[in-house]
């Protein structure tokens, strides 16, 4: 069942309004978010000559016990016994096994930390809260507090507990949607200039153009690129995928991609060109987005610049992509 705070608040309030006064206690406990606070580690790098390890250990245990009490004082939370046994190093980074053990023990949120004494009067406390259900860090902060006596530790614990409760109560942003699986085909050259023949230098610039677009798409975070090299069919000979009757969609579908993107550089003259692209839905063949740059000035070395600008303006910028339309080939 959903275990976010907002959902839990709705459940609890609904129960109160509807008079669920006789709900089984175990059922109510199951609705509460399980919080496990593991023993904090301690590190003394102050260089003080006096051995204070015994008093530090005593204060650290009191700090952790109070943190467990105060964080779970909210009725929406329930304290889960620590799953960190004798072989668990409190100061070590949380391993997958450690997180799994906490989750198996009934925890939804795991709180870990380390206190470090920096000097006679200055200590640091690093605290992290991990959402075990979604495997993400909810809260991580480094605190600095003055003093190394019982009162200083109590003040530090009260402040840290309050901050943790506030962090747990803050609605978390929705998870980003999964990236779209995209089959990006190499850009092709359509030469209508007087020369009408592709050179080796042209081929290198087409590779550069495809690489530049690939980098931009990956940087956007919107797409996960599916390799297409070596997948051309008889209908899609190199540099002719634009004229293969929709084979890019067929190839993308077979590769498990959601969409396919083809791009063409049309050379008007040695110093004039335009760029165009089409983005297709691999399931339907519909055009999701398309665009052309209009006439641009520059030799082949400027193709990558023109292509990336077109992709940015017509595809990646919010509100620029066109609405899906039936494919026309």
C-alpha closest to that of 35 among 168, 175, 170: 168
- My answer on whether 76 and 116 are in the same domain is yes
CA distance 228 to 147: 62
> Domain boundary residue among 146, 169, 192?
169
- My answer on whether 74 and 109 are in the same domain is yes
C-alpha closest to that of 105 among 60, 42, 38, 52: 38
- My answer on whether 163 and 41 are in the same domain is yes
- My answer on whether 130 and 224 are in the same domain is no
What does the block give as tokens for 15?
């129960």
- Number of domains making up the chain: 2
DSSP annotation string for 155-201: HHHHHHHHHHHHHHHSPPPPPPPPPEEEEEPPPEEEE-SSS----HH
pTM over cut 0.85: no
> Domain boundary residue among 137, 169, 201?
169
Kind of pairing, strands 259-269 and 272-281? antiparallel
- Domain assignment present for 225: yes
pLDDT in tens, the chain (329 residues): 444 444 334 333 333 333 333 434 444 445 789 999 999 999 999 988 999 999 999 999 999 999 999 999 989 899 999 887 666 776 677 788 889 999 999 999 999 999 999 998 999 999 999 999 988 888 899 999 999 999 999 999 999 999 999 988 887 666 667 899 999 999 999 988 887 678 888 899 999 999 999 999 998 889 999 998 765 544 445 547 888 888 999 999 999 999 999 999 999 988 899 999 999 999 999 999 999 988 888 878 889 999 999 999 999 884 544 443 344 43
Phi-psi domain of 295 (left: phi exceeds 0; alpha: psi -120 through 50; beta: other): beta
In angstroms, the first-to-last Cα distance of the chain is 48
Structural domain of 79: 32-169
- Domain assignment present for 8: no
Contact yes or no for 78/32 (Cβ under 8 A): yes
- 145: CATH: 3.40.50.10070
C-alpha closest to that of 272 among 210, 198, 192: 192
Which residues neighbour 233 within 8 Å (Cβ) at sequence distance 6 or greater?
244, 247, 250, 251
């Amino acid at each position: 069942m959903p275990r976010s705070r907002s959902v839990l608040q709705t459940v609890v309030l609904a129960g109160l309004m509807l008079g669920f006064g006789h709900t089984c206690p175990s059922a109510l406990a199951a609705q509460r978010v399980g919080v496990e606070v593991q023993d904090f580690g301690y590190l003394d790098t102050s260089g003080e000559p006096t051995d204070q390890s015994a008093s530090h250990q005593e204060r650290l245990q009191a700090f952790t016990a109070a943190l467990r009490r105060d964080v779970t004082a909210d009725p929406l939370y329930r304290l889960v016994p620590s799953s960190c046994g004798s072989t668990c190093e409190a100061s070590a980074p949380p391993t997958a096994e450690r997180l799994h053990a906490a989750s198996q023990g009934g925890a939804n949120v795991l709180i870990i930390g380390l206190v470090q004494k920096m000097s006679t009067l200055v200590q640091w406390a690093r605290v992290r809260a991990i959402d075990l259900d979604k495997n993400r860090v909810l809260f991580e902060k480094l605190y600095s507090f003055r003093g190394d006596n019982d009162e200083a530790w109590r003040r530090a614990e009260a402040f840290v507990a309050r901050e943790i409760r506030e962090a747990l109560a803050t609605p978390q942003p929705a998870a980003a949607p999964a990236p779209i699986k995209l089959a990006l085909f190499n850009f092709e050259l359509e030469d209508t200039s007087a020369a009408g023949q592709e050179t080796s230098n042209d081929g290198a610039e087409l590779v550069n153009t495809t690489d530049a677009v690939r980098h931009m798409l990956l940087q956007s975070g919107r797409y996960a690129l599916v390799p297409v090299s070596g997948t051309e069919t008889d209908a899609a000979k190199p540099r002719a995928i634009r004229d293969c009757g929709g084979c890019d969609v067929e190839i993308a579908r077979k590769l498990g991609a959601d969409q396919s993107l083809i791009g063409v550089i049309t050379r008007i003259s040695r110093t004039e060109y335009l760029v165009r692209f089409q983005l297709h839905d691999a399931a339907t063949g519909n055009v999701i987005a398309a665009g052309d740059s209009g006439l641009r000035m520059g030799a082949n070395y400027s193709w990558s610049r023109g292509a990336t600008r077109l992709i940015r303006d017509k595809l990646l910028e919010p509100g620029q992509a066109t609405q899906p339309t039936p494919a026309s080939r």
